[in-house]
Amino acid sequence: DVKVTQSSRYLVKRTGEKVFLECVQDMDHENMFWYRQDPGLGLRLIYFSYDVKMKEKGDIPEGYSVSREKKERFSLILESASTNQTSMYLCASRGFGRGLNTGELFFGEGSRLTVL
């Protein structure tokens, strides 16, 4: 069964702290994504990676960085958390095996981050 696991479901951090959000997939997928979801704004893409050590900025990369040292793991890093980064963060993956036209992203359960 397909599985995307996010390390923390709920986090509370203080302004200025460094935050790591971890995501692991067990499907040998090449593509991995980090989205944030906010009421009224839908899902917005922060960063994505199409292979190990490869990364591309999404629509809202400011204030974030990512790391993909291994194929199964994609980490989102908030170097200095701010209150406007309070959000639900969703990790997703997709494999090439299903064809480039597929839009089937497999999502993790999400990490709800609150920055005080």
Partner 1 sequence: QKEVEQNSGPLSVPEGAIASLNCTYSDRVSQSFFWYRQYSGKSPELIMSIYSNGDKEDGRFTAQLNKASQYVSLLIRDSQPSDSATYLCAVKGIQGAQKLVFGQGTRLTINP
Binding site for partner 1 (CB under 8 A): 31, 33, 35, 40-45, 48, 50, 56, 58-59, 90, 100-105, 107-110
User: Minimal distance in Å, beta carbon 107 to partner 1?
Assistant: 4
Closest C-alpha among 14, 12, 115, 20 to residue 77: 20
With vertex at residue 64, the alpha carbon angle to CA 80 and CA 23, rounded to the nearest 5 degrees, is 110
User: Minimal distance in Å, beta carbon 81 to partner 1?
Assistant: 22
Q: Of the two residues 17 and 107, which places its CB atom closer to partner 1 in the complex?
A: 107
Q: Of the two residues 3 and 14, which places its CB atom closer to partner 1 in the complex?
A: 3
User: Minimal distance in Å, beta carbon 31 to partner 1?
Assistant: 6
Q: Of the two residues 4 and 19, which places its CB atom closer to partner 1 in the complex?
A: 4
User: Minimal distance in Å, beta carbon 104 to partner 1?
Assistant: 5
Unique residue bearing structure tokens 């397909």: 2
In this structure, the dihedral spanned by the alpha carbons of residues 105, 52, 109 and 22, taken in order and rounded to 10 degrees, is -160
Q: Of the two residues 26 and 56, which places its CB atom closer to partner 1 in the complex?
A: 56
Sign of CA pseudo-dihedral 60, 33, 52, 95: negative
* Distance separating alpha carbons of residues 74 and 67, to the nearest angstrom: 6
